[in-house]
Structure 1
Amino acid sequence: MALRAARHRRSWKRRFLAGASAAAAAGLAVTATMAINAEAAWTSSWNVSASGWSAADSPQVSVDRQGDALLAWTAGDMSTTYSYQRVQTRVQYASGTKGAIRTLSPDGAAVSWPETASDDTGDSAVVWQQDSQVVGRRVAASGSLVGPLQKLSTSAPATTPVVAVTPGGTAMAAWAEIRDGSWYAVARRIKLDGTVGAPITLGSGSAEKPAIGVDRNGQFVVAWARASDVVARRITSTSVSATKVLTTPIASYGGFGMVRVGVDRDGDAVISYHSGGGAVAQVWASRWSRTGTLAAPLRISAAADNAGFHHALATDLDGDSMIVWTRYANGKLELLGRRLSAGGTRGAVTTLGLGDRPDLALDDDGDGMLVFHTVVAKSTPPYSYTKTSARLVSRSGTFGATKTLTSDGRVPQVDTAPSARFTVVWQQESFPYPIKSVTGP
């Protein structure tokens, strides 16, 4: 029954995307029947965070191969004097059952920016910034905590952690920290039992957030920005590769940043990033094969476009990627997207309308979802509201119609099960700012 339902969802999705694409090409409106079918496949949104707690932005979600999702966020108890933020998690099972809320961080600590990743069976790792250090903790598939809180960084301040988990459960965290006045990129394993490995100094870095991905064989790719370039290294269970410079042909007077990594099943990596300075900021992508071959950087945004701050990258198991980015146009931010094939062919650019803070997820075969938020002006105070929306993406790179998930939400994040069942999480924009989630289609 589960397999039949998954096939039905995928068949419906392809018919919907194909119909939307054909209608658009013919200059026709997408029919109301399509919209009804799309909405019927979504669950109702629900409050992830506890009543009486006020959450911060940038909640996170990771989904295992059964479709169970771990949601992570920061929130403070408004009934307490100082309402200290705590890192909290909660499991949403594919069946729809919700687990208990777990608090991972101690009371009184200054915490921010949790990141999470899960293995095939739902055992997860959560990392975050705490009191100028980077810390982490394991969470079992049941939602229970495994082992003690672990300090991962070796110096302070340490910031902007990211994490990936192998199919079998070994996690790797990466972050930036200052040693003797200089920034370094550092990585460290967090094992299934909650113990940690030795720190791995990757090399000189910057305060920019690194990026990390992992293939189906358990090989990690970590990429990060330095003062004048973007570099990457591979980490296996027994070795760390030499540093690979990705950006040698690109002039960037303002430096590089916003690094993202996508990895296919065998370890071929796509690394996307911003270049600053010059006339306009631009988005690029480098392809680094598992054999070590580095292709020339590909310009993703148009040469004349001034790219915005945020962009998103997702890669399927065959190595095909989708990239969505923002650009400034007439004083507003709009979204654009294009496909990048495993062979390095850039698809046509699709203009997606106004939006910001994009996030992407692709399933095993490349069917995906884009989520984003849009600030909409209105004539009465507070003179704007923020809505969170989603668009399906076909494996050929076609974007479906926009579906509004909420008219009161910001900073959405999305992840997927292997067969295109997506879990989305966001922060409600209005007080008391709960974290909310929905699953579909």
Structure 2
Amino acid sequence: MAARARRHRRSVKGRVWAGVAAAAAAGVAVAATLTTSAGAAWTSTWNVSASGWTASDSPQVAVDRQGDSLLAWTACDQSTPGCYYRVQTRVRTAAGATGAIRTLSPDGAAVSFPEIASDDTGDSAVVWQQDGHVVGRRVAASGALVGPLRRLSTSGPASGAVVAVSPAGTAMAAWTEIRDGSRYAVARRLMTDGSLGVPLTLGSAYGEQPAIGVDRSGRFVVAWVRGGSEVVARRISSTAVGGTAVLTSSIASYAGFGSVRVGVDRDGDAVISYHSGGGERAQQWASRWSRTGTLSAPLRISASTDNVGFAHALATDLEGDSMIVWNRLNSGRPELLGRRLSAAGTRGTVVALGTGERPDLAVDDDGDGMLVFQTVVPTSTIPYSYTKTTARTFTRSGGWGTARTLTSDGGAPQAGSRPTARFTVIWQRVSYPYTIRSVTGP
């Protein structure tokens, strides 16, 4: 995640007890067990995409402050020649009512990687890659499309689109595009009526996907990799684009930086997490950039002995406390680790979360949240593996709940939250026809 403004959180009441001594002896804490209230429950899993359509690997979900969700994905109608993919969305209310499926992209276009975000009342923005450019549309809280399809990028090829929406509804998209052989990070507003702001060229870029977040007053933070050798960030208010902050000047990275994520609290204090490559060990880092412009020294999140993978997730609550989850190889298997980072910059205990990859995080207003991830499980029979999606809740104090398998046939999960710890998860079935599915809980 890039950390998105739509993700919120709530308190989960429960008991936390000690972990296993063997893991503690290895220098990594075992996740504590969390007992949720007896009234907590998951809804039935339901099919989001249409029967007869086959989806691709990019489901997304955004949840507003009433608990209504907008779900987005790409899929194609198998009954049509060529089975070209289209970006589609669907609303599901907090009460469980589902809206009609809407198609946002034109027939025959080459589309991929939709990203979505919602404001407080459910008005949303959807951006994606289409025919070498970045495009976007607004979607009303009812699910109806607002205004025409808009081309956001100014040159091509353009890729890596991300989006955040302010509480009042202004959307800001950011991406990387190529002009005259050079790459640039660019941002642009997409208004509630579907009209566009002017393109904002933020600076040179390396080609990595940027990250974006927004505070409660509508100030955006965009972070990206510049030149492969540093991570930088800028703030964008309604009237100005701030100066560039260089976050990584004190870190040596022989193979460059990547996998940038942004979390922003209610007042505009930002946490930017990223991966450093090369040298003896790849590492996971985080930088804290206050709303007044004070930049703290980078914090090493992973252990110095770990060889960290690129997949990681960041979520920041309204008070500025964050959860960071990343992966490393353990005996050839991807293992997920988690760590709390307080608003004051205090790093919590590293917690081993089990085998998994493609993590995503959602948090509520108070800092309680959910991690979702996929795990490829080997088997002794054809096809010799299956992919499952797992969810784990965590508390604002850093206690972790037990793992819950949401499906044994699904991956690429994403999660969103209401203001009070009720989470909506979306994933794609791994078996044909790759149906998009969703569930809400606990």
- TM-score, structure 1 normalization: 0.94
Q: Which residue of 1 aligns with 2:215?
A: 215
Change (3 A) 1:184 1:404: same
The code of the aligned residue for 1:281 comes to A
Q: Which residue of 1 aligns with 2:388?
A: 387
Pairing 1:35-434 to 2, within 5 Å after superposition: 37=38, 41-226=41-226, 227-434=228-435
Cα distance per residue 1:285-333 (max 9 Å; x no partner): 0000000000000000111101112000000000000000000111110
How far the C-alpha of 1:398 sits from its partner, in A, is 1.1
Secondary structure, aligned partner of 2:13: helix
Distance 2:400 2:90 in 1: 31
| Displacement over 3 Å in runs of 4+ | 23-27, 32-38
Distance 2:416 2:427 in 1: 12
Q: Which residue of 1 aligns with 2:13?
A: 14
How far the C-alpha of 1:34 sits from its partner, in A, is 5.4
The code of the aligned residue for 2:108 comes to G
Cα distance per residue 1:319-376 (max 9 Å; x no partner): 0000000001111100000000000000000011100000001101100000001110
Distance 1:23 1:67 in 2: 33
Change (3 A) 1:26 1:251: closer
Cα distance per residue 1:63-84 (max 9 Å; x no partner): 0000000000000000111000
The code of the aligned residue for 1:66 comes to Q
Secondary structure, aligned partner of 1:293: coil
Secondary structure, aligned partner of 1:308: strand
Asked if the contact 2:34/2:402 (under 8 Å) is kept, the reply is no
Distance 2:47 2:37 in 1: 24
Distance 1:67 1:169 in 2: 16
Asked if the contact 2:234/2:242 (under 8 Å) is kept, the reply is yes
Secondary structure, aligned partner of 2:281: coil
Distance 1:233 1:419 in 2: 30
For structure 2, list consecutive stretches of 5 or more residues without a partner in the other structure. Answer: 1-8, 23-30
The code of the aligned residue for 1:53 comes to W
How far the C-alpha of 1:36 sits from its partner, in A, is 10
Distance 1:257 1:381 in 2: 36
The code of the aligned residue for 1:14 comes to K
How far the C-alpha of 1:58 sits from its partner, in A, is 2.0
Cα distance per residue 1:369-395 (max 9 Å; x no partner): 000011100000110000000000100
Secondary structure, aligned partner of 2:105: coil
Secondary structure, aligned partner of 1:22: coil
How far the C-alpha of 1:22 sits from its partner, in A, is 1.5
How far the C-alpha of 1:14 sits from its partner, in A, is 1.7
Distance 1:274 1:168 in 2: 32
Distance 1:291 1:106 in 2: 43
Distance 1:257 1:185 in 2: 14
Change (3 A) 1:194 1:51: same
How far the C-alpha of 1:206 sits from its partner, in A, is 1.6
Identity of aligned residues (%): 71
Higher mean alpha-carbon deviation, 277-286 vs 103-112, is at 277-286
* Structure ranking higher in helix proportion: 1
Distance 1:382 1:41 in 2: 33
Asked if the contact 2:147/2:193 (under 8 Å) is kept, the reply is yes
Asked if the contact 2:283/2:302 (under 8 Å) is kept, the reply is yes
Distance 1:92 1:206 in 2: 38
RMSD: 1.9
Change (3 A) 1:33 1:218: closer
How far the C-alpha of 1:23 sits from its partner, in A, is 6.1
Q: Which residue of 1 aligns with 2:26?
A: none
Distance 1:160 1:315 in 2: 22
How far the C-alpha of 1:25 sits from its partner, in A, is 6.6
Distance 1:58 1:402 in 2: 23
Cα distance per residue 1:395-430 (max 9 Å; x no partner): 001111000000000010001010111000000000
Cα distance per residue 1:24-49 (max 9 Å; x no partner): 4799xx9x9959958x6000110000
Distance 2:248 2:10 in 1: 38
How far the C-alpha of 1:279 sits from its partner, in A, is 1.2
The code of the aligned residue for 1:352 comes to L
Secondary structure, aligned partner of 2:367: coil
Distance 2:57 2:440 in 1: 19
Distance 2:421 2:94 in 1: 12
Secondary structure, aligned partner of 1:207: coil
Change (3 A) 1:373 1:37: farther
The code of the aligned residue for 1:22 comes to W
Q: Which residue of 2 aligns with 1:6?
A: none
